[in-house]
Amino acid sequence: MNSCVFKDVVIIGGGPAGMAVADRLFDLGIKDIILFEKESYLGGVLPQCIHDGFGLIKFAENLSGPEYSAIYTNRLKEKNIDVRLCSTVMEISYKKSPATAGDFPVAFHTSVSCLSKNDLSNDFYAPGGTMKIKTRAIVLASGCREKNRSNMYIPGTRPDGIFTAGTSQAFVNLHDLMPGSEAVILGSGDIGLIMARRLTLEGCHVKCVAEIDSVSGGLKRNIKQCLSDYDIPLLLNSTVTKIFGFPRITAVEICNVEHDEVNSTFTIRKDTARKISCDTLILSAGLLPENSLIQNLDSGFSSSFSGDFSIDPSSKISGDFSGDSSSKISGDFSIDPSSKISGDFSGYPSTVPSWKDGIFLCGNALFVHGLVDDVSQSGENVAEDVFEWLQKGVSNSRYSLSRADDARAENMEILRSKRLETIANAHKNTITCILCPNSCEIDENLKGGKCPKGAEYALEEMRSPKRILTSSIKIKDEDALVSVRTKTPIPKEMLPEAVKKLRQMTVPPPVKCGDLICSDFMLPGIDLIATRNFPL
């Protein structure tokens, strides 16, 4: 094991949240940062999200996932931030260590295993081996995981052909592998909707998207451009109740469900059961924050502080004590006269931090965000709070572990009100503007948009609908793909033909993000550009 080092801030996760934290902290003058990422590249899930729609809020540009990721990756490279790829954080542990933590009464120790590849073809370098780090702040930006079949309690056999939406997205977009030829998608989260379109354009027959709720969990713009555009049925109040076939799935049973909104329960209507043949079931039923490192930490503490303390006149606590998850101190204290505190008491002076205040969560590790732009913003916000924590040693941050439950409860309230709004608008006869995540509903009088583009979009949608094409093409003489998109929209009806044409094309390496791959693609004046580097 390498010797223990000290860093001001440890960031766990190199996706959009973690990169934004590092970038913003550096700009605030906090440069003693280290970021750990388990993959061999930065960006989290973004490199496989080759569709557009990213960056409209943060950069006022319509970018693909790889392009969005490249903005932050380049910033971290330019700032020479210490990024360790192929590195897995095994454990976070808390240990009192006043002497090594500057003015802080507590210090945090992380144990980190770095598993490096020697042939990394990028500008970041992980020296490998195991290292231990003491730090004043930890930011957990480890994203989320997809719910899998076990999370969804689907009975039946365990055949091949069942994938989560993200896994199937990686197959198609990164590895040029089709998961199947006839698919049913369970769950209408955004990744499921986007995969419905992607699979359709790549030649798979997507039979339906079944959604157990009475409203879709995805953005309205994605329902419009991923399902309605391709006549893919969205079956609300429906779920998969049985899986047929072995060793490969051959069909699913779908039943309607009845919701009891008052008691938040539902009943499966077995009398509505119907069998739909398919060789693939894609699960897109939501995401779970990945914060197991914190869960282990939480359970490792006793329920109270105890021990001998002395408090000096500057209100700093020192002494031998052990911390707990409830942030309370109790015990017999002896205080010197100048501190003007005397007697037995329980409770922690408000200026003294709890160990939880130095651990921050952001992005999808805190709660699942609908937009990557919001994830990045969460990273920037938490960086400001970490900065304050480092300067003042106090924190009331909504991103700290102390307040994580409050932040999640606030988010649940927002989601509840959005759901009610969706239900209220469900039967309006409008055109959904797909130009930004607001997904405004434009009525027959061209009203309803939050900006003038809504009316323009609705007019064009009625006359000649157009879409940006996003896909990927093969690298010449390599077993690899590079993602591409048209710079401007092309007629919607040309998309299937355009994807077929892309399958015949190759591009010689190297390729840089933004390179012109083909001019006059499908139509005069349409440029096809690369949206990712090859090699990385």
Question: Which residue ranges make up the site for ligand SF4 (CB under 6 A)?
Answer: 433, 435-436, 438-440, 449-451, 453-454, 457
Q: How far is the CB of 218 from ligand SF4 (least distance, A)?
A: 15
Report how far Cα 451 is from the mean position of its chain's Cα atoms: 28
Q: How far is the CB of 449 from ligand SF4 (least distance, A)?
A: 3
Q: How far is CA 284 from CA 47, 52, 167, 423, 447, in A?
A: 19, 19, 10, 21, 33
Nearest residue (CB) to ligand SF4, 453 versus 501:
453
CA distance 281 to 195: 12
Cβ neighbourhood burial of 416 (10 Å; 0-12, 13-18, 19+): exposed
CA distance 73 to 376: 13
CA distance 423 to 257: 17
Q: Letter for the amino acid at 468?
A: I
Nearest residue (CB) to ligand SF4, 186 versus 223:
223
Q: How far is the CB of 190 from ligand SF4 (least distance, A)?
A: 16
Nearest residue (CB) to ligand SF4, 44 versus 454:
454
Residue with tokens 């699979």: 199
Q: How far is the CB of 457 from ligand SF4 (least distance, A)?
A: 6
Q: How far is the CB of 312 from ligand SF4 (least distance, A)?
A: 56
Q: What are phi and psi of 425, to 5 degrees?
A: -95, 0
Q: How far is the CB of 39 from ligand SF4 (least distance, A)?
A: 33
Q: Look at strands 234-235 and 238-244 and give their pairing.
A: unpaired
Contact 168, 319 (CB under 8 A): no
CA distance 267 to 453: 43
Nearest residue (CB) to ligand SF4, 115 versus 435:
435
Nearest residue (CB) to ligand SF4, 112 versus 455:
455
CA distance 200 to 206: 6
Contact 385, 71 (CB under 8 A): no
Of 468, 478, 469, 484, nearest in space to 173 by CA: 484
Which regions of 122-181 does DSSP assign to beta strands (E)? 129-140, 144-146, 162-164
Q: How far is the CB of 54 from ligand SF4 (least distance, A)?
A: 15
Nearest residue (CB) to ligand SF4, 272 versus 425:
425
Q: Which residue is nearest to ligand SF4 (CB)?
A: 454
Nearest residue (CB) to ligand SF4, 451 versus 459:
451
Polymer length in residues for the chain: 536
Of 260, 285, 257, nearest in space to 271 by CA: 257
Q: How far is the CB of 434 from ligand SF4 (least distance, A)?
A: 7
90 HSE (CA, 13 A, CB side): 10
Contact 7, 390 (CB under 8 A): no
Nearest residue (CB) to ligand SF4, 431 versus 530:
431
Q: How far is the CB of 492 from ligand SF4 (least distance, A)?
A: 17
Nearest residue (CB) to ligand SF4, 5 versus 451:
451
